[in-house]
Amino acid sequence: MSTRPQLFRGLVLAAATALLLNNTALAETATSQPAAGPPSVADLAEGLLDAVVNISISQNVKSDDDDAPMPQVPEGSPHQEFFDEFFKGQGGEGNRPRTVNSLGSGFVIDSTGFIVTNNHVIQDADDIEINFSDGSKLKAKLVGMDTKTDLAVLKVEPKKPLKAVSFGDSRKIRIGDWVMVVGNPFGLGVSVSVGVVSARGRNINAGPYDSFIQTDAAINRGNSGGPLFNMRGEVIGINTAILSQTGMSVGIGFAVPTELAMNVVNQLKEFGETRRGWLGVRIQPVTDDIAESLKMERPHGALVSGIIEGGPIAKGEIKAGDIITRFDGTDVAEIRDLMRAVGESPVGKMVDVVIIRDGKEQTVRVTLGRLEDGEHLANVQTNENGEGAKPTEPPAAQLPATDAVLGMKLAVLDAGRRKSFGIAEDVKGVVVTEVQPNSAAAERRVAVGDVIVEVGQEAMDTPEDVSARIEELKGDGRRNALLMIANKTGELRFVTVQME
């Protein structure tokens, strides 16, 4: 009997101790867990919704045009009838014109009526209408568009100042930061979704300046052109694309960051067009093979494959074969870095460009031209050169080609072969007259009629020069030969051909 109370008290004490330890552990767990996501974005959204707009466009097309904008709606959707009526239009049979409607999103950046959206939202539109959150509607005109970043600026004429939002600095966001998407998915009206930044600097091969913000916030058809907000209510991206086989969000959406968009938007707003810097060079990536052939420690920079005639490079400041490693204070890890840095630079600015030439680093100064002028110049030169006839074998009366070198038969580029292959007069080097199937050269797509201008950064005049240089590189322990190849019009490219 005397032991039972003691046993009972022991059990009570043990239970109390266990409960205390358990509560302490729970408290420690609660305090040690990271903070949860924002409990609500209602206050944030409430102050921003009025600045986000729905954009509807009308486009006159033939009724048999299969390329008309048409969202895919799952069978059995409660909105199937709405989509069929709205998107298929009221056209008749045959080829009679009909009106096709499409929807997107946008946001007001200036209370006087300037609106940002995606170019693909309003492209080829015959009529653009802006629908505001209060139910009002205004016709919009296109101020300017940029296909390279898929951005466009519109203008409406409001009777009173509009609610506008401001751009934030997308460079300050981190992976895991909360973001909010506001837009017009599937034409349902302004909708809000929340997620996190999944990645930065994504390249999805959509354009030359790809550096997208990736987010898992829901982005669907109709969200294109809408804003991606940070938790301070600043626009840090413009929703542009999704990765999906169904056309619906699977948690992988992409937005143009404001660090790229702001300069474009400001230029479109001020000039109605972009005014990007232009270096006037053709570039290609520095691959592992190219880096090895040039004895670089690691592949980096952008390899200059040609200089555009009439461009900013007028005095040989930069030459084909140079590797650009730094532009105006910005390191160039890959060609995309150079394209962005040049494109974001003002026209007419004098910049320092760090290059590697003949294994030595040097700095040159270049005054930038305008990219849009350069594109026109390049098109004119291409049209003037033309494509010409397909190369044919040179007449038998000419000197024979050498024995195969790296799977190629080579010959002196004399007047007869120049005419036979249709090679421009200013192209110098050794012409390729035959490429053996499955050879090292064939793998690198060297073709009959191509001209070998350089091997291992040394100019070539005869087939014997090529053979001697290849043997020299082999003796130097090189595994690949870096060839500068010109096509018949003189456009250059670099290829590495395995010598083993």
Are the beta carbons of 399 and 378 closer than 8 angstroms?
A: no
Are the beta carbons of 197 and 257 closer than 8 angstroms?
A: no
Q: 178-199: buried (b, 16+ CB within 10 Å) or exposed (e) per residue?
A: bbbbbbbbbbeebbbbbbbbbe
Under DSSP, the state recorded for 172 is: G
Q: Is 150 labeled as catalytic in the residue annotation? A: yes
Are the beta carbons of 68 and 100 closer than 8 angstroms?
A: yes
- Out of 102, 105, 120, 211, pick the active-site residue: 120
- Kindly state the tokens that stand for 463: 């087939």
How far is residue 16's CA from residue 23's CA, in Å, rounded to a whole number? 11
- Tell me whether residue 50 is exposed, middle or buried, using C-beta atoms within 10 angstroms of its C-beta: 0 to 12, 13 to 18, 19 or more: middle
Q: Which strand (E) or helix (H) includes residue 234?
A: none
- Kindly state the tokens that stand for 295: 């004895």
| Residue 436, CA distances (Å) to 158, 411, 440, 446, 448 in order | 69, 15, 9, 10, 10
Q: Are strands 137-146 and 127-131 parallel, antiparallel or unpaired?
A: antiparallel
- Out of 102, 105, 146, 150, pick the active-site residue: 150
Nearest to 244 by CA among 222, 221, 223, 267: 221
Are the beta carbons of 452 and 484 closer than 8 angstroms?
A: yes
Is 150 marked within a binding site? yes
In this structure, the chain runs to a length of 500
CB neighbour list of residue 375: distance below 8 Å, 6 or more residues apart? none
How far is residue 190's CA from residue 51's CA, in Å, rounded to a whole number? 11
Q: Helix (H, G, I), strand (E, B), or coil: what is residue 46?
A: helix
Q: Is 224 labeled as catalytic in the residue annotation? A: yes
Is 120 marked within a binding site? yes
- Out of 102, 105, 193, 224, pick the active-site residue: 224
Nearest to 60 by CA among 16, 112, 105, 95: 95
The partner residues of 210 in beta bridges, in order of sequence, read none
Nearest to 312 by CA among 300, 327, 298, 292: 327
Is 345 marked within a binding site? no
Is 222 marked within a binding site? yes
| Residue 136, CA distances (Å) to 129, 157, 497 in order | 10, 12, 64
How far is residue 413's CA from residue 39's CA, in Å, rounded to a whole number? 74
Is 101 marked within a binding site? no
* DSSP helix, strand, coil percent of the chain (3-state; round to 5): 25, 30, 45
Annotated binding site for substrate: 120, 150, 222-224
Annotated binding site: 120, 150, 222-224
Residues identified as active-site: 120, 150, 224
